[in-house]
A and B are shown apart, each in its own frame.
Chain A
Amino acid sequence: MKKTRIFVFFVILIVFMASLSVSVLAQVVEKGGTLVFGRGGDSVGLDPIQVTDGESFKVTQQIYDTLVDYKPGTTEVIPALATDWDISDDGLRWTFHLRENVEFHDGNPFNAEAVKWNFDRWRLEDHPYHIGGEFTYYGYMFQGFPGIIDEVNVIDEYTVEFILTEKQAPFLNNLAMVPFGISSPEAVKKWGEDYFKHPVGTGAYKFVEWNQGDRVIVEANENYWRERAYLDKIVFRSIPDNAARFMELQAGTIDMMDGLSPEDVDAVKDSSELKLTLRPSMNVGYLAMNFKFEPFDDVRVRRAFNHAINKEALIGAFYSGLGEPAKNPMPPSIWGYNDDIEPYEYNLEKAKKLLDEAGYEDGFEFDLWYLPVPRPYIPQGKFIGQAIQSYLSEINVKANLVTYDWSTYLDKTEHQEAPTYMLGWTGDNGDPDNFLYVLLDKTNSNNAYESEELHEVLIEAQKTMDREKRIELYRKAQKIIHRDAPWVPLVHSTPPLALKSNINNFIPNPTGTEKLHRVWLDK
């Protein structure tokens, strides 16, 4: 009897608290209003499959949906336009069940035909609407045209089937990427090569206006298949200069911004009207050592470099402390990260000893290439290069700083012309393969690191569908890489964003862009 009473009491308490919290939540969310997002550059285009830059994706993310999506703030895959899916035992046949009663912004229905049409447009070079650009990300993620997607078949109105030529473990993660947003076929046909200026998707926001070089405006889609966006309108404004953009935020003419300069971080922290948010890291900045150049073919020299650079100090000085020292080639936000790896600690004695063993007790001279442009993973290439130069001088090694303009820099490093070079990577789909295979497999590495052992592990992981097995393989791969030390992994940066304090529910995603339909403003 007593027990029942206590139970009833608790049930009442729980119900009461639940209703309280629901009513509190219901009170809190305020709908409507316009958000002005300040960013460093204009979008290149608004047809997501044709662009590769973050400024374009920032906008297309709002206008389009993909078959599957990333859970907010993570790279975990959740249903979106597809509600669920089946995979055949051999991993080659994927069947997606699509959401019903979804409309494109132009009123046309979303269905299996539309999905097939979009994939055919992307993958078939003889498709009449395979025009207007290079479809770069399709070729990149699905290995060319038509690539590994052999067939896309309509099973019924809301079921579509993909036949792959080979297993691709990250297939689902790839489909969640923003370039693979589904366009209205009618709109693509209507606008042809100019579709990139007239985007039509199923997303939470409809395209309104693009004033090139200045702003893109989107407004809430009243028929969105999820709950309607809380905001009425978003304006993406291009403000190229970091300092000017921050002043606009202080003046109140924009509500939030990315590309905050490290030196402005403290001003944001101190302001009562602004708040700071960090994007979870999905990148790595590194110093690579080229095996083709002596003495970097000697693992002892490479390990000596790993011991000689103080990463914490670099992060304190050049990232305003916003980042974490890297010990692996991929960031901890990615599953399969091997946290058991013992990093090469900052220790000049060890570094010197290793150089002695390698026969370089008197040091040597070499070229250190530093990044000519700010990148998210290395925002101040020259200063970081100078810092590394001074660290290395402590072990009697003289680094000559060298750089080129960005495209030349990429071209020359790609062709293994740099003895050592700073570079980095921002992940695409949240899969370990997208870091380890892409950067360090013998078929891809830019520093002539050609480990057969690593290659076998990475290829096996690509063909394995079981997550647990893949984790084991990737942990092993990170061990091999740590042992061979082809790089000095420097940092995983967490790019800062500054927001007015009345902005709620902005959850930055590690992939670099996020949907803003759940963001709302205190009035």
Chain B
Amino acid sequence: MLNYIIKRLLALIPILIGVAVIVFLIVHLIPGDPAQTMLGERATDAQLERLRESMGLNDPLYIQFWRYVKDLLHGDLGRSIMSNNPVISELKIRFPATLELSFFAMIFSVFVGVPAGIFAAINQNSWFDNLSMMVALIGVSMPIFWLGLMFIWLFAVELGWFPPSSRISVETVLNPVTNLYVVDSILNGNFTALIDVLHHLFLPAVALGTIPMAIIARMTRSSMLEVLRQDFIRTAYAKGLKRKAVIFKHALKNALVPIITVVGLQFGVLLGGAVMTETIFSWPGLGKYLVDAIYARDFPIVQGGILFFAGVFVFVNLIVDLSYATVDPRIQYE
């Protein structure tokens, strides 16, 4: 097992190098330059020239690439062109916001999607099955910006149950430690802040979790249906096992591998930044920030951000692969 993990981590190196090269090339080969974006309508040729010179954009591409790789090997992702803030400190601030939101969205989607899928499968073609799969279909096809706006309008503006956006109230004071506000408020022992933070998390997490929830529910249902039709299930019933035990101990455990795959994939996607949700709920996460950086041609931020995401994605995949072994003893890693 340990060998396997080490092997996988080593495999990360060529992947990251590949990503670094591809991202660098894409970012530098698309038209439009950061100096132009920064100066906007005000740009004069002389100023553009000066700015490009000082940002090193006038050097040949291979020199820029070499500089980028050299800095990268020293753990330096560079500084944002727009704000001059080190990329690493931008990531430190924004990734925790994305992580927290994605995590709670996944909790919502797993805790609603998996039971709904199981229940729909064991009651195949019942009214619940039809209803929940219809809801899931709507959920999959729901444009998230619309759903988000409707949530804000209904639950924040009309009913006033939840705050419309942001991570924390203006009045709440919280000392950031990890920038994961739920963790920080626990570390601070500040339970008012914890309630406030969870209160803010609810709407965006549900909105973001809706699509994965629907996908997970559908996947759980079909995977369960497949397992329920197999012989060993009939045998289990024949042995006189209780229905509950058959479903949860035998069927679910066997149906779990594809579900875990989907959950892992969805989580990886969410961690890549939920641009729409972050925009609608004014969530200061990495997704929205990265998109803005792409528009602004803020090369260091785009490069650093995508490289980071690639790392995260590979890491999540590793966790998923390892968890197969825990749910299915037939899978072993040498």
Contacts and interface: CB of A to CB of B under 8 A. Distances in A.
A139 B295 CA distance: 24
B170 A34 contact: yes
B165 A144 contact: no
A136 B84 contact: no
Nearest to B94: A213
A44 interface: yes
Interface string A122-162: 00000000001110100110001000000000000000000
Interface in A207-259: 211-215, 217, 235, 237-241, 243-244, 247-248, 250-251, 253
A50 interface: yes
B86 to A, nearest CB: 9
Given A238-B284, A251-B156, A243 B32 contact: no
Given A140-B47, A239-B282, A406 B37 contact: yes
A134 B51 contact: yes
Contacts of A235: 170
B32 A212 contact: no
Contacts of A280: none
A60 B40 CA distance: 20
Given A52-B38, A136-B38, A247 B284 contact: no
Identify which of B47, B170, B282, B297 gathers the most chain A CB atoms within 10 Å of its CB: B282
A132 B84 contact: yes
Contacts of B166: 214-215, 237, 239
A402 B19 CA distance: 33
Interface in B15-44: 31-34, 36-44
Contact of A238 (B160, B282, B295): B282
A414 B36 contact: yes
Nearest to B148: A244
A424 interface: yes
Contacts, number: 138
B47 A405 contact: no
Contact of B83 (A45, A211, A237, A239): A45
Contacts of A214: 166-167, 282, 284
Contacts of B284: 42, 211-214, 238
B233 interface: no
B1 interface: no
Contacts of A424: 41
Interface of B: 31-34, 36-47, 50-51, 54, 82-85, 90, 93-94, 97, 145, 148-149, 152-153, 156-157, 160, 163-167, 170, 279-282, 284-285, 288-289, 292, 295-297
Nearest 8 pairs of A and B residues by beta carbon: A213-B284, A407-B32, A407-B37, A408-B32, A214-B284, A239-B282, A251-B157, A408-B31
Given A44-B82, A213-B97, A214-B282, 18 more contacts: A52-B40, A133-B84, A136-B51, A139-B50, A237-B166, A238-B284, A240-B279, A244-B149, A244-B165, A247-B152, A251-B156, A251-B160, A253-B163, A253-B164, A404-B31, A411-B32, A426-B41, A428-B42
